[in-house]
Structure 1
Amino acid sequence: MKRRNFMQSSLLAGASLLAGNAVKANIAGKPAGDKIAGKPFNLNYGIHDGMFKNHAGDDFINQIKFAYDQGFRAIEDNGMSGRPVEQQKKIGDTLAKLGMGMGVFVQPGLSNDGNMLATGKSDQVDNFIKSCTQAVEVAKRINSKLVTVVPGDFQRNLPIGIQMGNVIEAIKKGVAVLEPHGIVMVLEPLSDNPNLFLRTPDQGFEICKAVGSPSCKILYDMYHVQRNQGNILPTLDWASDEIGYYQVGDNPGRNEPGTGEINYKNIFKHIYNKGYKGVVGMEHGIAGKGKAGELALIQAYREADSFL
């Protein structure tokens, strides 16, 4: 090999090695000249507390900063309303400084039994309205526009149509509190137990159409949809004009994309092509352990997000 060609090959090999090391360093949360690993994703995936604790420690704010360095541009936090007010404000300030979005937090101020809106009982409705008022104050501190609402359980002593009517009327009253502030309640169909009133997106679609407000939408959690009925993409399309938020979790196991049976690359491409610009909540666990598990999670999202 000629000396000139040898030198060119050596320089290219050295540059590739340095770039590879820079990417690895950046994924590990260390300073790096190459920012490929931290490039923002095509969709706006929202991390939650504890997701990167092995790299960033137990402080959620430090985890948020680490996630930003890896390309994530949003968070969600089910337990936000239970945090001290000062901590809520600090999280909100951190998100504002980094230019990150806030996804959902769960409706505050309820008893352990949650909403029982299908009953139509006045005390349940009053408690629900009170929780919506509290949600407005939390949302202001963290610059959020999304609150998760679950209507509660079936009432076996009432016809299903009566229960649906009771839920719709209660939701209308809650929406009246949220709508002036531009806050959206997203109704989440769940698969956790058979007693839950709201289990499928088509039920949520029916409620949203009846309420008729931009402040009442569906939280489309693909983990729960897969467990309850499957048929994710057609169901998503049928209900799309009433979907206000998406959440992710593979099945079985409820971990990151690629650990179960759901083809998230196809799903992410589908909702991207539909023009969705909101947060996609990462409401799942991590299949691996320690730092290696967290790095595998990042790589899983890079793979599922590589649809362009």
Structure 2
Amino acid sequence: MSNELLSPEEMSEADRLTIAAGAIDGIGLMRRAGEAVAAEIFRRYPAAKRVHVLCGPGNNGGDGYVIARCLATAGVDTVVWASGTPKPGSDAALAAGECPVKPRSLANFAAEAGAVVVDALYGAGLSKPLSSEAARTVGVVTSLALPVVAVDLPSGVSGDSGQVLGHAFRAGVTVTFARKKPGHLLLPGRKLCGEVVLADIGITDGVIARIRPQTFENTPALWLDVFPIPGVDTHKYKRGHVGVFSGGPNATGAARLAALAAARIGAGAVTVLSPANAMQV
């Protein structure tokens, strides 16, 4: 069921279980993630003059190095800005080693109008405010009004709560993997994600079922099979009768709104119970 939400910890477990099953290794998942984001960039920004890819030291940054490799290999003018160095021997280090673009220090970040920014700094797992150099980068990108493609979640937004941890990027599109995270739907993170694209990187429904997530996006798939849909020949009084108590002449608005809402969701009959002196209103 694709309306399941995964916390950052559950997403890490989904990665672990997928790798343990042997179908794909860690660097394979990273390559698929980066390729999915690169495909969105090609589709949305085919005329971009330059793409600045911001890479953190962890797996989110590893996705960024894959993205930069895909873009550069396709002939896109690509600049990589790194915050820290991936741990030696990690999947992110392997991805960085495969990237033909030499990284520059994020502390010196500079960009120009017409460019696109890929935020692959920290993603959903961040639990503390952005570093000063990352916060400065947010300021530069915001001042230039550059379009941002976020990997997993805009850096600075909590994947658990959607809260902004000091500073955060405002993305036009966010590409996440396997399942959405709470931070994609909860304010203010929801406003900072832009359009959320869910990419399949090979984490199966069976793996998600083993995690047994308990948080879900409220879509019809969650409740439609138990929604009480009446038959076409059902009498109105078998479809629920709602009574709404109204206040006096100057206090009828809430009752009217509630009555209209009850009628709209399918109540068979709705009665507004009003004091005599408010009847004319």
- Name the TM-score, length of structure 2 as normaliser: 0.32
TM-score of the two chains, using structure 1 as the length reference: 0.30
Higher RCO (CA 8 Å, separation ≥ 6 residues): 2
Report which of the two structures shows the higher radius of gyration computed on alpha carbons: 2
